[in-house]
């Protein structure tokens, strides 16, 4: 059916199956060139996938990271990660994974001259950078904008900002991001029309969406990610509640020290007289 919903490539498992498959490196190259062209960086002509396989245990391990690590024909290392939930530390996380990628090149006895540029690409389904740009690029520059080194580049691609683009802004990158974000089969068919590589990506997505084993693994990964997000949210709420309770207790202590009557403190803090009396006894 035209309005059929396919599996979402925003789930990291499917994103990696689609862009991190050794038989479909041309799709990854086209996606990367869309990013690099938008950033004014050189195109790549070939890539070598350094982690093409997905450990079956990673699907149910909510802490595992299903990123794509590749090396270009110019020996540049690239790490691509997709994130659909904002856990509040995306910038530090990206820099950390870039550090691991960059540091991992250097083996014992080798000099720093053997190091090659490393690039971290973050595809986000939330807004991280407070501006209207869908694509933000960060490098090491001084106050005058002079580049210190091209060895560090962080890309942030924020899908919610796509709604702010117009038809005349449909660059290759915007079309790829719209392809990731699209809700239905019909939407994607319109996006890929006339582009052989995007059509190949669409056909691969359609095939994976109807493959029973892929669906089972996709659902297992979704459950793991949902469980992780729930655990984080629960811990956050418990921490906030604990903070409120500790703050209230601290306020009660100050009012007791100031000599306010227990009945008045109870009315102000909405705590029982028994609770305030017990706290007063613990203070002595």
Residue 224 φ/ψ, nearest 5 degrees: -60, -45
Q: Strand 68-72 and strand 47-49: pairing?
A: antiparallel
pLDDT on residue 157: 98
Higher-confidence residue: 1 or 248? 248
Identify whether residues 261 and 140 lie together within a single domain.
no
Instruction: Classify residue 123: in a domain, yes or no.
Output: yes
Higher-confidence residue: 31 or 3? 31
Identify whether residues 179 and 128 lie together within a single domain.
yes
Distances (CA, A) of 188 to 35, 69, 191: 19, 26, 5
Identify whether residues 122 and 241 lie together within a single domain.
no
Identify whether residues 248 and 143 lie together within a single domain.
no
Instruction: Classify residue 31: in a domain, yes or no.
Output: yes
pLDDT in tens, 62-76: 667 789 999 999 999
Specify burial of residue 265 (Cβ count, 10 A radius: 0-12, 13-18, 19+): buried
Instruction: Classify residue 219: in a domain, yes or no.
Output: no
Model confidence at 20, pLDDT cuts 50, 70, 90, reads very high
pLDDT on residue 40: 95
Output the CA torsion sign for 216, 218, 219, 220.
positive
Name the strand (E) or helix (H) holding 179: helix 172-181
Identify whether residues 33 and 157 lie together within a single domain.
yes
**Those residues with Cβ within 8 angstroms of residue 178's Cβ, 6 or more apart along the chain or in another chain:** 162, 170, 191
Q: Which of 159, 178, 210 is the last residue of a domain?
A: 210
pLDDT on residue 1: 46
pLDDT on residue 180: 96
Identify whether residues 47 and 186 lie together within a single domain.
yes
Identify whether residues 108 and 181 lie together within a single domain.
yes
pLDDT on residue 264: 78
CA 57 to chain centre: 20
Instruction: Classify residue 6: in a domain, yes or no.
Output: no
Residue 235: other Cβ atoms inside 10 A = 10
Residue 250: other Cβ atoms inside 10 A = 10
pLDDT on residue 235: 60
CATH code for position 263: 1.10.10
Q: Is the full-model pTM beyond 0.85? A: no
pLDDT mean over 86-101 = 92
Instruction: Classify residue 255: in a domain, yes or no.
Output: yes
Instruction: Classify residue 217: in a domain, yes or no.
Output: no
Instruction: Classify residue 85: in a domain, yes or no.
Output: yes
For residue 2, pLDDT beyond 70: no
pLDDT in tens, 97-126: 999 999 999 987 889 999 999 999 999 999
pLDDT in tens, 219-266: 988 887 777 766 666 666 655 566 577 678 888 888 888 777 788 788
pLDDT in tens, 180-211: 999 889 989 999 999 999 999 999 999 999 99
Residues 128, 135 contacting (CB under 8 angstroms): no
Identify whether residues 258 and 197 lie together within a single domain.
no
Q: 273 is in which domain, residue-wise?
A: 232-283
Identify whether residues 48 and 118 lie together within a single domain.
yes
For residue 32, pLDDT beyond 90: yes
Identify whether residues 262 and 140 lie together within a single domain.
no
Distances (CA, A) of 237 to 231, 233, 234, 240, 244: 10, 6, 5, 5, 10
Question: Structurally, how many domains does the chain consist of?
Answer: 2
Identify whether residues 188 and 64 lie together within a single domain.
yes
Instruction: Classify residue 7: in a domain, yes or no.
Output: no
Identify whether residues 59 and 119 lie together within a single domain.
yes
Beta bridge partners of 118: 77, 152
């Amino acid at each position: 059916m035209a309005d059929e919903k396919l599996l979402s490539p925003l789930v990291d498992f499917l994103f990696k199956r689609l862009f991190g498959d050794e038989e479909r490196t041309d799709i990854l190259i086209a996606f990367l060139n869309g990013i690099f062209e938008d950033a004014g960086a050189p195109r790549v002509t070939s890539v070598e996938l350094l982690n093409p396989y997905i450990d079956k245990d990673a699907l149910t391990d909510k802490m595992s990271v299903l990123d794509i690590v590749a090396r270009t024909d110019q020996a540049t290392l690239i790490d691509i990660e997709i994130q659909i939930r904002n856990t509040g530390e995306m910038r530090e996380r990206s820099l950390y994974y870039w550090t691991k990628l960059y540091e991992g090149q250097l083996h014992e006895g080798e000099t720093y001259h053997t190091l090659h540029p490393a690039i971290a690409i973050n595809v986000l389904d939330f807004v991280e950078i407070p501006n209207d740009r869908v694509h933000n690029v960060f490098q090491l520059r001084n106050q005058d904008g002079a580049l210190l080194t091209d060895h560090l580049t962080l890309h942030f691609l924020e899908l919610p900002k796509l709604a702010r683009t117009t038809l005349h802004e449909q660059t290759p990158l915007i079309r790829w991001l719209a392809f990731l974000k699209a809700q239905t089969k019909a939407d994607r068919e319109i996006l890929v029309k006339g582009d052989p590589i995007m059509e190949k990506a669409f056909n691969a997505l359609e095939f994976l969406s109807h493959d029973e084993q892929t669906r089972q693994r996709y659902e297992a990964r979704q459950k793991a990610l949902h469980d992780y997000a729930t655990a984080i949210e629960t811990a956050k709420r418990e921490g906030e509640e604990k903070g409120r309770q500790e703050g209230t207790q601290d306020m009660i202590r100050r009012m007791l020290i100031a000599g306010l009557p227990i009945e008045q403190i109870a009315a102000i803090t909405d705590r029982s007289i028994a609770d305030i009396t017990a706290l007063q006894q613990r203070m002595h």
